Chain A
Amino acid sequence: MTIASIIKRWASLSVLLLVIASLLSGCNATGINNAYADDSVVAPTAHVVDIKDFKFSQALLNVKPGDSITWTNLDIAPHTATAVDKSWTSPELKTGESYTMQVSADTSTAYFCIYHPSMVAALEIVGG
């Protein structure tokens, strides 16, 4: 085996190792992102808001389009989660009942309990 052939074999092995390492790290040898590791698409989040002691557990909730919000009433009195502009509302939620809503980019953000106007909260829509 000549020195030239040894160098050639080591070079080939090095390229092979580099390709394997690149694939394992999410990139191919050309530097283009691997589709399986694409972090530009963020999975929807399922948010939970409890209604207890005449308060929404999160007065301001950061959400993004595609997320869901589930309100659960833990009070004795019935409540609702209703947009201030009335563009969306839960049904009447008795003790232990829940309601889930999907968030879109144009979801109205300020909401309250229609039965108890002092109960107010808001969403903040980010991204989308």
Chain B
Amino acid sequence: MKSLLKSIALAGVVALSAPAYSASPADLNDLEIAHVAYTADVIDIRYAHMALAISTNPDIHEFAKTMIRDHEAVNEQALGLLAKLGAEAQDNFLSQKLNADAEGILNEMSKLRGEEFDMYYASNELAYHGAVNGLVGDVFIPNIENAEVKALFEAGLKIFQAHEKHADMMVKGLK
């Protein structure tokens, strides 16, 4: 199981690291960053819905429901802010890469059942939130120009850090 966690974490880091792309996440503008964040939220909501459909573990269900509730709340705020600013999020290479990677992970998850599924889901959540939090904290927030967008990302980061901690508790509980 350690190798599974390691490979998932590695996949997350590779997926979000700049050298894998011709462009860099640090070059994205505010509207592209907003699109990446919205995409990342939607992906985690998709993972959660699959967990609710496959897992029978009550702790996994509670966590998945929290992911849906929180990520929908963040996206609602993001859409509200974009509407207020009269702007629209812009699709970009990183959003597309995240979506492509998510398809592969969802495909893998759909083949698993029982404890194997639970551990894969929990480990992926830990690795995914760790990778996204690194990207948001180290790359996006320092580069965001609009103060309101920056404040939303700072609030979002606190949520995702709590998710990472929760996922860590869940992984340890499943071992």
Q: Which residues of A approach B to under 8 Å, CB–CB?
A: 53-54, 75-78, 94-95, 115-119
20 new A-B contacts, CB < 8 A, other than A115-B69, A116-B162, are A53-B158, A54-B159, A75-B155, A75-B158, A76-B70, A76-B155, A76-B156, A77-B69, A77-B70, A77-B73, A77-B159, A77-B162, A94-B73, A95-B73, A115-B62, A115-B70, A116-B166, A117-B169, A118-B162, A119-B162
- Dominant secondary structure at the A interface: loop
Query: How far, in angstroms, from A5 to B156 measured CA to CA in the complex?
Result: 88
Chain A contacts of B158 at CB under 8 A?
A: 53-54, 75
CA of A117 to CA of B170 in the docked complex: distance in angstroms?
11
Q: Which residues of B contact A (CB under 8 A)?
A: 62, 65-66, 69-70, 73-74, 77, 152, 155-156, 158-159, 161-162, 165-166, 169
Inter-subunit contact B162/A54 (CB<8 Å): yes
Inter-chain CA distance A11–B55, complex, in Å, is 92
User: What is the predominant secondary structure among interface residues of chain B facing chain A?
Assistant: helix
- B73 partner residues in chain A, CB cutoff 8 A: 76-78, 94-95
Q: Decide: A78 and B69 in contact? CB cutoff 8 A.
A: yes
Nearest opposing residue in chain A for B70, CB measure = A77
Q: Which residue of B lies closest to A116 (CB)?
A: B162
- Nearest A residue (CB) for B78: A76
Residue of B whose beta carbon sits closest to that of A94: B73
The answer for the CA separation of A29 and B159 in the assembled complex, in Å, is 65
Q: Is the CB of B74 within 8 A of A77?
A: yes
10 pairs of residues in contact across A and B, judged by CB atoms under 8 Å: A53-B158, A75-B155, A76-B155, A77-B159, A78-B69, A78-B73, A94-B73, A115-B62, A115-B66, A119-B162
Q: How far is it, in angstroms, between the C-alpha of A119 and the C-alpha of B161 when the chains are bound?
A: 12
Complex contacts, A117 vs chain B, CB 8 Å: 166, 169
Q: Which residue of A lies closest to B156 (CB)?
A: A76
Tell me, in angstroms, the Cα distance from A115 to B62 when the chains sit together: 7
Query: Given the complex, which residues of A lie within 8 Å of B77, measured CB to CB?
Result: 76
Contact call B159/A76, Cβ cutoff below 8 A: yes
CB neighbours (8 Å) of A95 from chain B are: 73
CA distance A95 to B155 in the complex (A): 12
